[in-house]
Amino acid sequence: MRSLALTTLEGSRARIGTAIWLQVYIKAKRDVISSVQMLSTEAEVTETMLDTLVNFVCAAYDPKGIYIKIISELRRHLFCKPMAGSDELPPTLGALRQHVLRVHI
């Protein structure tokens, strides 16, 4: 699955494994699945595709009962948790963008 390849590398450091990515992918809306599929068919990655993939990554890292859809806010929330290390944070928006571009190629 292309979506698992997209984020498994990023999430492995945060103890987010393939099972969590698969659960999030199964629960994902149609626009997330379309954006993942378009990574292999479209000529370029659009901002809409990137925003959709950001929502996908945020869904995997979201603490239970808290719905944050912006990576910077999610990183801040997780960083402020007691005992949260920097290796447990989601990638920055810039790092995610580069990772998406690598997957796209």
Q: What are phi and psi of 102, to 5 degrees?
A: -65, -40
39-76 pLDDT tens trace: 888 778 888 888 888 888 888 887 777 788 888 888 88
Cβ pair 88, 13 in contact under 8 A: yes
Radius of gyration of the chain (CA): 13
Report the pLDDT value the prediction gives residue 12, as an integer from 0 to 100.
47
- Lowest-confidence pick of 12-26, 30-44, 67-81, 87-101: 12-26
Work out the average pLDDT over 12-38: 80
Confidence (pLDDT) at 7: 47
